[in-house]
Amino acid sequence: MQVKIYTDGAARGNPEGPGGYGTVLEYTDAKGKLHIRELSQGYEKTSNNRMELRAVIAGFEVLNRPCEVTIYSDSKYVVDAFNQQWIDTWIVKNWHRGKSGPVKNIDLWKRLLKVKEPHNVTFVWVKGHAGHVQNERCDILATTAADGDNLIKDIEETNI
């Protein structure tokens, strides 16, 4: 099954401004019907990178069988970590970059590696806020999800 996941790690989730994430899954079932599943973390003030990682993880955690997954993210940090094999280098170097400096958000990186394991994954960077059609889609869908009341706690009801 092919699944598209759109993320926004700075989705509002609260009228006060950035501080949450939204994740949207799009997939077509065996009968050819398109499904859209929105997930929201709600509101939590933390870094955009941390929110983006959590948004991506949320998308994977609802998948209960191996899928072809395309992640659309405007976080170059997340996308480059995989597309340029930074994450492999970090693992080899015991989760340190260069001679020193531990990798930030190590708990989330390890969790992401674990949940993406059974899937064939492509990460696509959609350059932020430059009129890129997929970036606009990330922003609109994921922010709508984050502003909704469909919080992440109900993911066990999803059967994808």
Mean pLDDT of the chain: 75
pLDDT at residue 58 above 70?
yes
50, part of any domain: yes
| Options 52, 61, 117, 132, the catalytic residue | 52
Given the residues 9, 19, 38, 80, select the one marked as catalytic: 9
Catalytic residue flag (residue 139): yes
| Predicted confidence band of residue 91 (pLDDT cuts 50, 70, 90) | low
- pTM (predicted TM-score): 0.78
74 is catalytic: yes
Which one is catalytic: 8, 19, 20, 59? Answer: 8
57 found inside a domain: yes
CATH number of domain containing 44: 3.30.420.10
Q: Which domain holds residue 129?
A: 2-77+115-157
Q: How many CA atoms lie within 13 A of 61 on its CB side?
A: 19
Of 29, 129, 136, 154, the catalytic one is: 129
Sheet holding 34-40, edge to edge: 34-40, 22-28, 2-8, 68-73, 120-125
Domain assignment of residue 145, yes or no: yes
Is residue 149 a part of any domain in this protein? yes
Weakest-pLDDT range from 76-80, 95-99, 115-119: 95-99
Please report whether residue 96 resides in a domain: no
- Is position 149 annotated as part of the catalytic site? no
Active site residue 129: yes
14: in domain = yes
Give the total number of structural domains in the chain: 1
In a domain, 90, yes or no: no
Q: Is residue 86 part of a domain?
A: no
